[in-house]
């Protein structure tokens, strides 16, 4: 959950747009292609607390996420519990509303992509994107053209139980995600 969280965290802290930490690996790399909400194969709602680190800055954010066969719904809240954004994806269209007076540094599709990279139990290879899940180390690595883009470390039995750490190499950020509550 990922790039989308960092972008919101940057928004809330008043930081300027992030620049990639490393050279991008070529066209098509900006985000892992989106999957239909139904591909999650269950319904879930969760509240999460995120801490992000990017370019020497520390950020915090609370989110509410709902996933079912019809949609992915994400609500972001500032550390003061005011609404920051609303994001909805039905598998075809993305609806996004920003409740802050700042521009988002990443597209809504990138936010959704990070959510899927972290939460989807099975993330298929797509085109030039390759996914490696290591069940022994509880680690997921997402590659584009054989270059590591995202590393996700799970510290629980399932992404909605326990803490998760996401590191995005091209954009140079790290998120620590704590699931506070989840309902299946």
CATH number, residue 60:
2.50.20
Considering the domain boundaries, does residue 59 fall inside one? yes
Roughly what angle, to the nearest 10 degrees, separates helices 3-13 and 108-119? 130
Residue 48 CA to residue 34 CA, distance in Å, equals 21
Residue 132 CA to residue 24 CA, distance in Å, equals 20
Considering the domain boundaries, does residue 29 fall inside one? no
Only one residue has tokens 């802290």, namely 13
96, 87 Cβ separation under 8 angstroms? yes
Considering the domain boundaries, does residue 7 fall inside one? yes
Whole-prediction pTM? 0.83
Residues of the chain predicted below pLDDT 50: 1-22
Domain that holds residue 97: 3-16+38-183
Considering the domain boundaries, does residue 57 fall inside one? yes
Query: pLDDT digit string (tens) for 150-164?
Result: 999 999 877 888 899
**Helix (H/G/I), strand (E/B), else coil: 39:** helix
Half-sphere exposure of 17 (CA within 13 A, CB side): 7
Considering the domain boundaries, does residue 156 fall inside one? yes
Considering the domain boundaries, does residue 95 fall inside one? yes
Query: pLDDT digit string (tens) for 79-106?
Result: 888 998 999 999 999 999 999 887 665 6
- Report pLDDT for 181: 94
17, 172 Cβ separation under 8 angstroms? no
Number of structural domains in the chain: 1
Identify which of 48, 75, 46 has the alpha carbon closest to the alpha carbon of residue 183. Answer: 46
Considering the domain boundaries, does residue 144 fall inside one? yes
Considering the domain boundaries, does residue 127 fall inside one? yes
């Amino acid at each position: 959950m990922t790039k989308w969280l960092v972008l919101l965290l940057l928004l809330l802290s008043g930081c300027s747009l992030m620049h990639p930490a490393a050279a991008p690996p070529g066209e098509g790399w900006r985000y892992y292609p989106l999957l239909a909400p139904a591909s999650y194969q269950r319904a879930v709602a969760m509240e999460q607390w995120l801490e992000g680190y990017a370019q020497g800055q520390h950020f915090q954010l609370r989110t509410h996420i709902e996933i079912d066969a019809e949609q992915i719904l994400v609500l972001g809240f500032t550390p003061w519990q005011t609404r920051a954004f609303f994001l909805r994806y039905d598998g075809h269209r993305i609806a996004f509303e920003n409740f802050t007076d700042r521009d988002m540094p990443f597209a809504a599709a990138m936010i959704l992509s990070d959510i899927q990279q972290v939460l989807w139990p099975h993330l298929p290879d797509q085109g030039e994107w390759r996914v490696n899940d290591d069940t022994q180390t509880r680690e997921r690595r997402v590659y584009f053209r054989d270059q590591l883009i995202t590393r996700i470390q799970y510290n629980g039995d399932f992404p909605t139980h326990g803490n998760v750490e996401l590191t995005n190499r091209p954009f140079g950020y790290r998120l620590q995600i704590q699931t506070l509550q989840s309902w299946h």
